[in-house]
């Protein structure tokens, strides 16, 4: 039977090996939190770097153009293109996003000044905003069909995140005292500082961590459902315009109602719905789709307007969704914070930084403890190896 001391040393060795093997997980969690924080304000960073995405007011009293004026200005500036949709960003400091198709089949997003209708620039297929979202969301791992193992890897981090939140609250007894008497000791060494910072950042980030963990967990479930062709949607088959509503003609394009009129008709029927985007018909059987946020800002609501007679023929509002859909469709905006303007994005950014630094502080605490344990184990092994040599030297001297 092996001595108890030898067993204890072996257990320490395996514990240290186990601790070092956790390093990639720490680094991955830190990386995902950091890229997510940057992705939160990636659109604002693009606004700072690229003047063409800004909604510059030509005069203090200038008012935004209607959809029809924007459509006319774009078609005049780029003859031959087909405008697919026009979207007004949540924040008024940004230019309009006008999605178009060129005669050669290319699709692009144009940055259009909402006050003048001038095309200020052309959006890239994969700009900085989408790069950061892809880097954070699935580590830029290519999708095979509708699946990316990077998506699974990132969203699966919701499990240790939620577990860390629960166990942290259990370990930190009477954690609510940290709200009343926050403590961050700066002059007691690195270990004390990082420990205080980790606890302080943790208790102040409890709601944010819970939101991130739950929403990321849903992304994992959502991908599993999608890979198994399971849906929770009750939207049904997309509607089409009835054949009898399409004016008979000699092949020329039938006249549509104006986009502004379509928006007015939707507002008349649903006063709380803000027409933040409009999608033009892609063919003779398609509707004009007017959409935006209503009383519940987390979910986009849409209304399909018959382009020939102006009837609102189909709607997809909050009340049309099941309770499960209401919850699941709220997950993405809750995760990104892009539903209430710049102030909320900044709140998410601050708490994202706090979460990132909390992970970093936890990693520093863990790294220091593991390094110290490793150094102690190495010293003990060296001491044990040196002991027989010392004994033999003494025997020889005697």
Sign of the dihedral defined by the CA atoms of residues 335, 36, 363, 176, in that order: negative
For the chain, which domains are there?
A: 21-231+340-366 (no CATH), 255-320 (3.10.450)
Continuous segment of H or E residues that includes residue 369: helix 342-397
- CA diameter of the chain: 120
Calpha distance 91→281 (Å, rounded): 26
Residue 106 has, within 13 A of its CA and on its CB side, a CA count of: 10
Report the predicted TM-score, pTM, of the whole model to 2 decimal places.
Answer: 0.86
Q: Report pLDDT for 126.
A: 84
Calpha distance 78→119 (Å, rounded): 9
CA 257 centroid distance within chain: 37
With a cut of 70, list the residues of the chain below it in pLDDT: 1-9, 11-12, 15, 18-19, 249-252, 387-398
pLDDT in tens, 220-258: 999 999 999 999 998 888 899 999 998 876 566 788 999
Q: Report pLDDT for 1.
A: 44
- Collapsing DSSP states into helix, strand and coil, what is residue 277? strand
- What CA–CA distances, in Å, run from 12 to 18, 53, 367? 10, 57, 16
């Amino acid at each position: 039977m092996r001595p108890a001391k030898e067993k204890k040393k072996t257990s320490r060795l395996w514990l240290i090996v186990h601790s070092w093997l956790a390093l990639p997980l720490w680094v991955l969690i830190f990386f995902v939190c950091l890229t997510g924080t940057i992705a939160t304000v990636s659109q604002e960073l693009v606004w700072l770097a690229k003047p063409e995405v800004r909604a510059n007011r030509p005069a203090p009293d200038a008012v935004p153009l209607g959809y029809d004026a924007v459509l006319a200005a774009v078609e005049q500036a780029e003859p031959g293109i087909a405008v697919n949709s026009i979207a007004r960003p949540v924040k008024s400091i940004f230019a309009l996003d006008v999605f178009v198709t060129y005669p050669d089949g290319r699709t692009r997003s144009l940055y259009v000044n909402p006050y003048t209708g001038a095309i200020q620039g052309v959006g890239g297929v994969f700009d900085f905003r989408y790069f950061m979202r892809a880097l954070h969301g699935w580590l830029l791992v290519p999708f095979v069909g509708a699946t990316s193992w990077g998506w699974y890897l990132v969203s699966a981090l919701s499990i240790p995140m939620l577990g860390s939140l629960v166990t942290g609250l259990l370990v930190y007894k009477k954690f609510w005292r940290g709200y009343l008497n926050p403590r961050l000791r700066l002059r007691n060494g690195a270990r004390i500082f990082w420990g205080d910072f980790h606890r302080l950042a943790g208790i102040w980030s409890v709601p944010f961590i819970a939101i991130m963990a739950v929403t990321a967990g849903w992304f994992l479930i959502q991908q599993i459902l999608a890979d198994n062709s399971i849906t929770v949607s009750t939207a049904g088959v997309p509607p089409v315009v009835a054949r009898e509503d399409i004016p008979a003609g000699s092949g020329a394009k039938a006249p549509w109602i104006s986009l502004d009129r379509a928006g007015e008709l939707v507002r008349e029927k649903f006063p709380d719905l803000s027409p933040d985007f409009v999608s033009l018909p892609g063919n003779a059987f398609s509707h004009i789709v007017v959409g935006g946020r209503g009383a519940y800002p987390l979910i986009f609501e849409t209304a399909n307007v018959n382009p020939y007679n102006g009837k609102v023929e189909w709607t997809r509002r909050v009340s049309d969704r099941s309770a499960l859909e209401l919850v699941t469709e709220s997950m993405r905006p809750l995760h990104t914070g892009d539903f209430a303007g710049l102030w909320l994005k900044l709140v998410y950014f601050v708490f994202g930084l706090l979460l990132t630094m909390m992970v970093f502080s936890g990693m520093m605490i863990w790294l220091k403890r593991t390094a110290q344990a490793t150094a102690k184990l190495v010293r003990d092994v060296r001491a044990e190896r040196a002991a027989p040599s010392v004994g033999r030297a003494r025997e020889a001297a005697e």
